[in-house]
Amino acid sequence: MRIILSEDNEILRKSLSFFLESKGFTVDQFSDGKDALDAIEANSYDLILTDINMPGKSGMEITQYVRESLGSDIPIIIFTSSGVEQTELDSFDIGANEFMAKPVSPAVLLVRINKLLKTRL
């Protein structure tokens, strides 16, 4: 299973990537939303993990592009440090499957990933 991880916090990005790779996933990681979007267009992924506030393109822009321009139903989980309820509602409105507040628990993330990927198989 191939995951794209778009997160500008280097420590979080590297630690989540290491954790997911230890669970058998292949992870392509990006610190810039535009670079992540270019990779999504060029490659086939099973899951998108993205921070909402990214340089280049935001997680919201990535989600909207994947849903509307690419017409893809690939599962998307959005991370944010924002505690604003409207942000979570907006994420679901544009097509995110899951929304997780930071700090992200790797164990909870794994449960959500497995749940999303099982429903696609």
Entry pTM? 0.94
Task: Render pLDDT for 101-120 as a digit per residue (tens, 0 to 9).
Answer: 989 999 999 999 999 998 65
pLDDT band of residue 20 (cuts 50, 70, 90) is very high
Average pLDDT over residues 89-110: 93
CB 77 within 8 A of CB 112: yes
30-70: pLDDT as tens digits:
999 999 999 999 999 999 999 999 999 999 999 999 999 99
Chain-centre distance of CA 97, in angstroms? 10
Average pLDDT over residues 23-27: 96
Confidence class for position 27, pLDDT limits 50, 70, 90: very high
Q: Is-contact 95 64, C-beta < 8 A?
A: yes
Domain ranges of the chain: 2-119
Confidence check: pLDDT of 95 > 80: yes
Q: How far apart are CA 113 and CA 118, in angstroms?
A: 8
Q: What is the mean pLDDT of residues 14-26?
A: 96
Calculate ∠ Cα 76-80-83, nearest 5°: 130
CB atoms within 10 A of CB 71: 7
The answer regarding whether domain 2-119 maps to CATH 3.40.50.2300 reads: yes
